[in-house]
Amino acid sequence: MRLRHLPLALALAAGCLAIGPAANASSSAAAFDAALAAGHAPAFALEYDGVMHRIAGLDQLEVELEGPDGQPGAIYAAQVDGRPATIVRLGDRLDIAYDDEKPSAAGRAKRSGEWIPDYAGLDDVAGMDDENPPDPEADQPGGDGLNVWIFLHDNANEPDNERFVNWYTAWWLKEMKNDVIPGKPVRVFLKTRVPGLTDLDYHAGTQVDRLHDVHLRGFEYVDGVGGHPGPLTRYMLFVDKPAGNWGSNAVGVALDRGKSAMASRTGPRHIVAHELGHTIGGVHEHAQTFPCASSMAGYVLATISCRWYTSANQRNIREFLTPLL
Ligand SMILES: [Zn+2]
């Protein structure tokens, strides 16, 4: 396969990076499980973040989620205190995010995607890589559906897996499942502490070489755990700080229609969807930036993430994926 690389540039604006893990996420998860086991769904009360909430209309999303411990997770749409929300249940923890929550809303730890009007400009340099790196999957059929393996760098500064999934991927999974490729399997695997990969020195050398490392080492890992890597397996390394070799202001990089990507938590909330989008047919040209930044938006000026691809990019991605599904 001929791989090209397309450095991403999103406007980079520093935000507060404080994280406030839900101190009682574990007890909330246990109570949530107990409520479901007792058949209290679709409505029950749940203590979360020290406050009692009313959970109703619980609807489990038909996507597969696996955490670092190999245990399956689950994503639910729900009404929480009458507001649309997404609940991620992963490991022994639980996270609730309101779908209509504004970045500045109280009660949620401020994250890197909630930038301030500190526009740093657009630096979106598309480069061509005419080399033909080894592609271990080129002749290897196998796997079905879109399988996204996200590896959290050891220094990613993302300690709460359930929050990570909810913040960056739950809404993307919902969009892929409901609007882009309905009826097709979509899976996210979140992995930590993978030697050679999550400790990768991604600052070294060139971004293309490091993206190839993510691809090859990701493949080795997935193959090693019996994950059946196939044509629609994608490997993402999620890191804290961007690398200098990404280019100034870039907060992520991806191989255009390739297998691998890297994303920084200094990017906006749609950074994972954006970089993955590059690997499955999304393009900047069909993005929008007003009144919100769609997921393939290449730069953002003090704008919140729409948390969806434009219909044109949904179509691009569908047309890319469908023959391979
Ligand atoms: Zn991009």
In the prediction, which pLDDT does 192 show? 97
Interval 1-13: pLDDT, tens: 333 333 333 333 3
pLDDT at 142: 59
Q: DSSP of 249-293, one letter per residue?
A: T--EEEEETSSEEEEETTS-TTHHHHHHHHHTT--GGG---SSSB
CB atoms within 10 A of CB 58: 19
Closest alpha carbon to 255 in 234, 231, 228: 234
pLDDT at 8: 38
pLDDT in tens, 31-70: 999 998 888 667 899 999 899 999 999 999 999 999 999 9
CA–CA gap between residue 289 and residue 294 (Å, rounded) = 6
Residues 83 and 143 in one domain: no
Centroid of ligand 1 to alpha carbon of 253 (angstroms): 7
Task: Please report, for the domain that includes residue 186, its CATH number.
Answer: 3.40.390.10
Q: Are residues 150 and 86 in the same domain?
A: no
pLDDT at 290: 85
Which residues have CB atoms below 5 A from the ion given as ligand 1? 8
Residue 7: predicted pLDDT: 37
126 Cβ contact partners less than 8 Å away, ≥ 6 residues apart: 6, 7, 256
172 shares its domain with 228: yes
Phi/psi at 90 (5° precision):
-145, 135
- C-alpha 265 to ligand 1 mean position (Å): 15
In a domain, 125, yes or no: yes
Task: Name residue 264's beta-bridge partners.
Answer: 239
> CA–CA separation, 190 vs 198, rounded Å?
12
- Asked if residue 107 belongs to a domain, the reply is no
Whether residue 106 lies inside any domain: the answer is no
Is 288 found in the same domain as 140? Answer: yes
Ligand 1 centre to CA of 277 (Å) is 8
Same domain, 231 and 138: yes
**56 CA from centroid of ligand 1 (Å):** 37
- Residue numbers in the chain where pLDDT is lower than 50: 1-23, 104-128, 130
Sign, CA torsion 288/293/298/300? positive
pLDDT score, position 102: 64
Q: Is residue 105 assigned to a domain? A: no
Give the pLDDT confidence score for residue 128 in this predicted structure.
Answer: 38
Give a yes or no: residue 168 inside a domain. Answer: yes
**Quick one: 36 and 171 in the same domain?**
no
Does residue 67 fall inside a structural domain? Answer: no
Question: Domain tally for the chain?
Answer: 2
Is residue 315 located within the same domain as residue 246? yes
297 C-alpha to ligand 1 centroid (Å): 7
200: number of Cβ within 10 Å: 20
Question: Do 258 and 297 fall into the same domain?
Answer: yes
Query: Are 253 and 270 in the same domain?
Result: yes
The domain of 29 spans: 25-59+75-98
Residue 1's pLDDT is 38
Q: Do 304 and 159 share a structural domain? A: yes
* Inside any domain, residue 108: no
Is 69 among the domain residues?
Answer: no
Q: Rounded to whole angstroms, how far apart are CA atoms 200 and 237?
A: 9
Q: Residues 221, 274: one domain? A: yes
Q: 252 with 129, same domain? A: yes
Quote the pLDDT of residue 161. Answer: 95
